[in-house]
Structure 1
Amino acid sequence: MKIPFYRWLPLILLLDLLSGCGNSLNHCWFYSYASGSGTDTTAGLTPASFIELRPDGSYTLDFGKYEYGAWTRKADRLYLTDQQHKTYVYTMNMATPKEMQLTVAKDRIGHFEGRPLPSDKLAEDPFAAENNRWRIPATHKESDAEIKQRLYNHCRFWEFYFAWALNKKIDYLDVRSTPTAIKIYGNGFGLKPFAELPARWRSLFFDEADCRKANEMIQDIFRNKTIAWPNTDSKYKMFIGAFQQLEQYCKP
């Protein structure tokens, strides 16, 4: 006797999920907290730490250091092969469309919250490598043009970060944990004093002189250029417009 297909369908879907062939991992995952009895070695993880797993098998990640490459899943293991062809293996304790748990240290679980993926266009993805070249530490003393390019790319990230939140109707964004020289308020932004710059932001520059020069470039823009804040009730639209203008001033 043949069993109707519709009776098999729930079982097929369940097996698909258990085998890891489902698409529940195709999200942008943000770190929320750690649990477990192991020593807490997650100091590099903040609310801005993320791992983006795209349907094409590519990923980007920032767990205190930015990387990108290819990902695969086998049972409860997540394999990440970065741009230098080094593979990292994470044990997944749980993965649903809303929450993922990864073993980030011995007997220590990192809890991640799932957010919808940005645009299919990588050029407009705030987490894509193209918009995060500023996160790659300098390997040499940079020229003024190179520092401006780093600042320009940084502003592009912020533009697409807010555009992603607007398009996906995300109610809350963390803007304090991302390493930056720009202090973002509820109704505007300003420049952080050099002494208050995050250590991670400082580490992106070849030396203190280059980092200081970047601050001076931003300060010069704020003092001598006009940024017209869009007249809108949407804070996301307001920041999108402001960062678009800041980008133009940062162009090499």
Structure 2
Amino acid sequence: MTPVKLIILFIIITMMQHHGIIYRTGKRNSARLGREALKDAIQPRSSNLNGSWRLKEVNDSDPIMTGQAPVEFETPPKNQDLLMSFFQDGTFTQIKDNGEYSFGKWSYDSLTESVFLTSNKKTEEIQAAFGVNVNGLRMLTFEFSQDNSISLVENARKTEKFKEDPFYSENNKWRLKPTQHENERQVRDRLKNYILHNICILKAANAREQAYVSKEFSQGIIKFYNVGIGVVERKQIPQSWIDSFYSREDAMEAYGIFEDYLRYGDHKKHATGNWVRDDSNILTDIHNGLK
């Protein structure tokens, strides 16, 4: 490979890492199904909601402007990304690309083909329709009214053990901003839950044989390497991660705890030949070591 090609390749890899995407060779799209399986997966039934769905498009009429959108489930602006995940225990989570996080319960009515979303003690009924896009991926359309709807494309199929899904609520407690300053133990626990979330990202990517490992909806201080775990520079800490703490001071305390463990903690060597599994094992050691 010529020096010019090497430079171009380095730039591409750097850009992918900047956006939280690391590609894996020889892997497939985790959401694409075979023809027969796909036909069954778009039938109007509750089990077909399970998994993660990413915003595809918002129609021209914005419910936020017209006041027709449900209070707890507002249609995002057209330039904003959104990930919704539905789980077998009737819970869901919603994460925007700016780090805004919400969660609640859901149920599906196959007779009316609508979804009931409950959050903050309020329940909204939304018409839901399944379909397939040109790439063979499942689509989910939420219709608020005749002129107001959003379309989501399946981002990842459900995990076999849904409580190990990176976007399951128990793995996202770190996103819940506290109402007051936290002590060292509480900051450490918040950091450990964030680490657990990243462990789940890697485990899910490995189990699904994903084509890439993405942290687009999980911006923070952890960096994945092939093989290894690192930490971003202080000046590159995402604001959305800082905002998950009560204050910047608390966030920097968590950063310091993680950075110190990387430098001075005891680390086992992991070399299975699968960097995703190795990074998951390394993070698990760090999580368990932060007692």
TM over 0.5: yes
Alignment partners' CA distance in 2, 1:159 and 1:219? 17
Secondary structure of 1:204's aligned partner:
coil
- State the 1:149 CA deviation: 0.4
Secondary structure of 2:88's aligned partner:
coil
Letter in 2 for 1:218: F
Whether 2:244 is the aligned partner of 1:198: answer: no
Q: What's the CA shift string for 1:62-116, capped at 9, x where partnerless?
A: 234333322123445432112x212345454544572223469975634322422
Secondary structure of 2:116's aligned partner:
strand
- State the 1:204 CA deviation: 0.6
Alignment partners' CA distance in 1, 2:193 and 2:144? 30
Number of the residue aligned with 1:184: 224
1:34 to 42, 53, 57: 57
- State the 1:38 CA deviation: 4.8
1:55 to 70, 78, 88: 88
Alignment partners' CA distance in 1, 2:284 and 2:205? 16
Residues 1:42 and 1:193: Cα distance change in structure 2 (over 3 Å):
farther
Contact 1:73 1:79 in 2 (8 A): yes
RMSD (Å) for aligned C-alpha atoms: 3.0
Q: Which moved more, 1:224-233 or 1:86-95?
A: 86-95
Q: Which moved more, 1:150-159 or 1:167-176?
A: 167-176
Q: Percent identity?
A: 20
Letter in 2 for 1:79: F
Secondary structure of 2:223's aligned partner:
strand
Q: What's the CA shift string for 1:104-161, capped at 9, x where partnerless?
A: 9975634322422123362x33222222111111211011111110111111111122
- State the 1:43 CA deviation: 4.8
Query: Which runs of structure 2 are paired with 1:85-100 in the superposition (5 Å)?
Result: 85-92=121-128, 94-95=130-131, 98-100=138-140
Contact 2:55 2:83 in 1 (8 A): no
Contact 2:223 2:231 in 1 (8 A): yes
Contact 1:99 1:114 in 2 (8 A): no
Secondary structure of 1:78's aligned partner:
strand
Number of the residue aligned with 2:205: 165
Letter in 1 for 2:102: E
Q: What's the CA shift string for 1:155-192, capped at 9, x where partnerless?
A: 11111221122223223221244121112234333212
Contact 2:140 2:153 in 1 (8 A): yes
- State the 1:208 CA deviation: 1.2
Any stretches of 5+ residues in structure 2 without a counterpart? 1-38, 63-75
